[in-house]
Chains A and B, each alone.
Chain A
Amino acid sequence: MKKVLMGNHAASWAVQLSRVKMISAYPITPQTHIVEELSEMCGDGSLDAKFLKVESEHSAMASVVAAQAAGVRSFTASSANGLALMHEMLHWAAGARLPIVMVNVNRALAPGWNIWADQGDSLAQRDTGWIQMYVEDNQEVLDSVIQAYMIAEQVRLPVMICYDAFFLSHTYEPVDIPSQDAVDDFLPPYTPEVFLDPESPRSFYPLVMPDNYMEIRYHLDQAHTRALDVIEETGRHFGEAFGRPYGLVEAVNCDDADMIMVTSSTITSPARLVMDELRENGHRVGLLKMRTFRPFPVKAVQDALGGCSKVMVIDRNCSWGKGGIFADELKSALVNLPDSPKVFSYIAGLGGRSVTPDHIMDMARQTLDTEMPSDGSVWKGMKQ
């Protein structure tokens, strides 16, 4: 069934189709539509789940941790300052190895107050142990949330699906909604071996002494390594089931490219237009969409970028005092390659500023025309 949906409602539909049993959330623009729709679904019975109202995002994540530990599939959503308030509990979810799925609608953090697209909120949660994926359009929102449960439950890690405020959250576009039967065939019921059971109580998340802590954390890191394969496999299986395959990254025209644009989220779409135009004009340009940020797909990045001489990265984020975060991570993934490409880093679109094909063409031309990248990131689309 195809419907014209806003990105937030695509997420709600995916949660419903994933037969989530417990939802807990605190409202924040631009995420609120997701949980409003879910609370209506719980209210009218179209989703058989418990909807818990809480007094903060910290409590939202705490209650989702508890529900998932009790053995049911859970969901929450947040954004920006709300996600920041969740921070401590994000560590809990990953450390407890709970396959929670959440949506974060990427929004700038205050001050100045800004409700528009910016990846700084979720990237600041990089080291909490969550899998992080950044998606490009409303169809991918729906598809990725369903895949997220599949991935999360196989490796017992929480997954955060991130997408741009307003550019997806509030934008209507056609979405193919799979049938419940098809999703049921793809995503089996959640049946954890160990869960909080009053009949046979276990001690959950107690003190771990120095003699075991490192080993437990090593397992967590290993789970991320394993997730690299699981994300690939799940994306491939999803393609077989629904005709829309996904992977850790999406590499377009990278094999013969001299220069490759690296993007994430919605900036990817206009970059596709720019790539086509440059190719028509005889430039061998490729595109690498970073769908997965954690675990960082080092091998996939090396495979895609290893052969080219220049890479330009567009970041809708900034690590203050260092620059674009994707660019930085990318450099460390490439640094040990024999003929490591030069990495050109651009920052654009912070706080919801539009990134048009013209802006991207400007960055591409600058990259093509410049021999050596600067050490820091170049800010684009700013007032002169």
Chain B
Amino acid sequence: MSHRETIGYETLDQVPDTVISQGTMLWNRTGSWRYLKPVYRQMTPPCNNGCPAGNNIEGMIRLAEAGKYSDALRLLKEENPLTAVCGRVCFHPCETACNRKEIDAAISIHAVERAVSEHGREGYAPHPVLSASGKTVAVVGSGPAGLSCAWHLARLGHRVVVFEKADKPGGILRYGIPAYRLPKDVLDRDIADIEALGVEIRCNTAVGKDLPWSSLEGYDAVFIGIGCHQPRPLFEGGEETEAVWDALRYLTLTAKGDFPAGNGKTTIVIGGGNSAIDAARTARRLGNAVTVYYHRTRTEMPAFGEEILEAEKEGVAFEFLAKPLDLVIDNRKLRGVRFLKTQLGEPDESGRRKPVPVNGSEFVVNADIVVTAIGDALDRSVLPESLDCDTWKIKTAKMGATGADMIFAGGDAACGDHNIAEAIGSGKASACAIDSKLSGFDIGAARDVITIGSTDRISASRYIMARTGETTGPLSKKVADYDKLNTAYFTRGDRPEQPHLPVQERLAGFDEVAGSLSLKAIQGETERCCHCGVCTACDNCLVFCPDVSVIKRADGTGYDIDLDYCKGCGICVNECPRAAMAMEEDK
């Protein structure tokens, strides 16, 4: 640039005595050597990628780490209204995806979500994002799918009426999940947020029974999230004994305090899923001796491992490789169940080994009460005939579109995966699909910017940005997997265990078993988070740059590269702990 000169020394005296250039090196723009340059990027953290509800988990943890709990709650609720619920009963696939498990143990994300839901309430008030559209949408069913759909539609400016056949809203959350896992005041708080947006919930109104479908014709769109509540009788002749129950009905009656059976009975639960465990643990709390019978082994049980362990702690017994044949009834009174022993054969289509009956191995187990938990079917009797359904679900295209115009479906009634987070995600996807139809927004063209990471799950916040023409910022569809991290910068720590109620206290009632972590423990968890793929302004790039070419922005929003001097050595990218930088060709 300026006074660049080549100096040749002729004499001894001319040669300097220090090994320092004789003048400024400002002329020497080492950036000219570069053919690659570093860029900052945002990848999708594996937790975000793994959340069926589409939560921005990494963002929540970052805000919680800074003590901004109400901001963290606001961020969560952009994707999911049921945060306090999910912090307790979601099976947290985010934690299964968490890279931290390769270092020490997955972040206790559900505990952070629970804490944010508790401590973020001060300063949080839900409000619609878009102004009123003048459209009205009917939501049938107030389970997680319906509530999620209603929430997002309301945020998008639509009037929503929710129809619920039971006396209170919540569906499976209210009457399927026992209070010791999900206290009902916690559920009420999340639902109150939804109502605060103006969503109207009409209880004791079963559409297709109390109210004909035709009466919804005035609505601009309909979302169906009625769940799968049609019991499938396992045995013949159970009704007459009044001692054989479908698990969901058993749990519902218990939740309402209406269960007729008394204490001290011998109860058999048949099944291996979460409903079986819920029923068994509930039966223990009613004072019964409980044994769960499952036709495969513990390894094949679909229930969450932790739930099985807690059930055992509470005195639930398990018997495996037993296939129920029929009931033993004596004079209209249940005496027991006849089983056949099984052994494991070849894997079936789910990958689990199939139970094969052993001939001549029949045995009878005495029982006062039998609860069957073998999965419920779709109640087709309450659905309009125009919908294409099978035993298990309403057939839908992407984002819940049914064959019928402006009728969408989600949750258990339309999805194969029966879990709460999937239901919440499906309700949200349908809300966005409904909104795009009502507003004329081309959702297909925006798909790439509104889906999360490598999945086809919808981010509501990104949908709103796309819909309103806001820039959505850089977001790689790529997931920041473990092998992309520079783990030298992450020190090992311990994952804190949530406090649990002593077993004796649990069995005395339905008090919540798992307690909250202390704020100190939550702080520790947030600090343990690697923030995979997201720049946290940790300054590593700045510290390691040998050319002082990483310039920190004064407003704290990130860094710029001084390309006059960056040689493209790539040290910053190597030393970025969280893969939030990459090298790209410099053209």
Contact = CB atoms under 8 A, between A and B. Distances in A.
**Chains A and B touch each other in the complex, with CB atoms below 8 Å apart:** yes
Contacts, number: 47
A95 B16 CA distance: 12
Interface string A36-74: 000000000000000000000000000000000000000
A223 B23 CA distance: 23
A97 B25 contact: no
Contact of A202 (B9, B15, B25): B25
A96 to B, nearest CB: 7
B20 A216 contact: no
B17 A202 contact: no
Chain A, interface SS category: loop
A203 B25 contact: yes
Nearest to A96: B19
A200 B12 CA distance: 27
Given A198-B548, A201-B25, A218 B19 contact: no
B15 A215 contact: yes
Contacts of A220: 17
B17 A208 contact: no
Given A95-B19, A96-B19, A220-B17, A202 B24 contact: yes
A205 interface: yes
Interface string B7-30: 001001001111111011110100
A148 B388 CA distance: 94
Given A194-B20, A203-B20, A219 B25 contact: no
A206 to B, nearest CB: 7
A212 B17 CA distance: 10
Nearest to B18: A97
B17 A219 contact: yes
A202 B23 contact: yes
Interface residues on B, range: 10 to 19
A320 interface: no
Contacts of A95: 19
A113 interface: no
Nearest to B28: A203
Interface string A191-216: 00010001011111110100010011
Interface in A223-251: 223
Contact of A97 (B17, B24, B548): B17
A216 B19 contact: yes
A206 B18 CA distance: 10
Contacts of A205: 19-20
B24 A201 contact: yes
Contact of A206 (B9, B15, B19, B24): B19
Nearest to A218: B12
Nearest to A215: B15
18 contacts: A95-B19, A97-B17, A156-B17, A194-B20, A202-B20, A202-B21, A203-B21, A203-B25, A203-B28, A204-B20, A208-B19, A212-B9, A212-B15, A215-B15, A216-B15, A216-B19, A219-B17, A220-B17
Interface of B: 9, 12, 15-21, 23-26, 28, 548
Top 8 nearest A-B pairs (CB, nearest first) are A219-B17, A215-B15, A203-B21, A200-B24, A202-B21, A205-B19, A97-B18, A203-B25
